[in-house]
Amino acid sequence: MKSEVIKRQKGCYLRLPEEFSKFDAVEMFELKPGYYLLSVPLAEKGAAPVAGAKPQIPEIKPSAQEQKEAAVLSKLASFGFSKRSPSQLNKVMNAEEKRVLEELVKSGKVLYVHNKKYEEGIYIIETGSQKSPQKQAEPSAMENQLFANGYLILDGSRDAQALSERLMKQKNSVVGIRGFDGKYYIVTAVYFGKVAEALSGMGDEITPADAAAKGGLAIDGCKAVLKLLAEKGDYIEKKGGFYVRI
């Protein structure tokens, strides 16, 4: 907004909005030559500033999700590498912590690595000295996510094709399907067996959300397995996300 500059013999004066009338002084910060930031006193809004006091910077509190992520990262860091495998963490993490861990893997803040030494795989906290998964070849990142979570849902056919080519030597350990919604649902054979067994003890009509709540599993993981079971003929997928056992 433009404001009138009042010129007097002793200097120039700026006409301020009415809300400034309650203050005896204002804060002015030079951003760069010719540009200034004008503010009410920062020491305490509504009160006169204390002489010589430095402006207070408002405290920025982390969000609830950030606090949850920090707690999971701290817990993960407290374990040695040999105790960071999925089977070991399942013993010490609750369902909410495991959900947050999945999000950390997706965001690249945690890496899932499996090799000859750690055949089951382990979770490693990403640091500045480590290679970020976003910089990895995309098929490698997708493979890590698949084996970390047990399932993967892809939107694009190019991603699905790239992952398929990378998993050529592991055909027997992975199953997948293209859903009617155009998405690709891929799960590991181990995860498929785990979820299918859990579903066998549930009702004849169920949704992925219900299955996840009853079995302490991921909703997307249950959805992927139900898609595959429907393809096998064990379930019929109905409107509204319901699956009916045949």
What CATH number should be reported for the domain holding residue 158? 1.10.10.10
Digit-coded pLDDT (tens) for 25-80? 777 777 667 767 777 666 544 444 444 444 444 444 678 888 898 899 888 888 88
The answer to the question of residue 123 being in a domain is yes
Task: Please say which residue of 75, 100, 135 terminates a domain.
Answer: 135
**pLDDT exceeds 50 at position 141:** yes
- pLDDT category of residue 238 using cuts at 50, 70 and 90: confident
Same structural domain, 69 and 95: yes
| Model confidence pLDDT, tens digit, residues 64-77 | 888 898 899 888 88
The residue ranking higher by pLDDT, 137 or 12, is 12
Flag whether 173 is in a domain: yes
Q: Assess whether pLDDT exceeds 80 at residue 216.
A: yes
- Taking the C-alpha atoms of residue 235 and residue 246, their distance in angstroms, rounded to an integer, is 5
Phi/psi for 180 (5° steps) reads -65, -20
- Number of domains the chain contains: 3
Domain end, chosen from 112, 135, 158, is at: 135
> Cβ(175)–Cβ(228) under 8 Å?
yes
Across 3-12, 31-40, 161-170, 202-211, least confident range: 31-40
As a whole number, the mean pLDDT across the chain is 78
Is residue 240 domain-shared with residue 158, that is, in the same domain?
A: yes
The per-residue pLDDT for range 90-128, each reduced to its tens digit, is 999 999 999 999 888 888 788 877 666 667 788 887 654
CATH code: domain of residue 91: 1.10.10
Last residue of a domain, one of 109, 135, 161: 135
Domain that holds residue 83: 63-135
Do 158 and 240 have their domain in common? yes
Span of 74-78, 156-160, 222-226 with lowest mean pLDDT:
156-160
Classify each residue of 63-97 as buried b or exposed e, where b means 16 or more C-beta atoms within 10 Å of its C-beta: eeeeebbeebbeebeeeeeeebbbebbeeebeeeb
For residue 134, what pLDDT is reported? 37
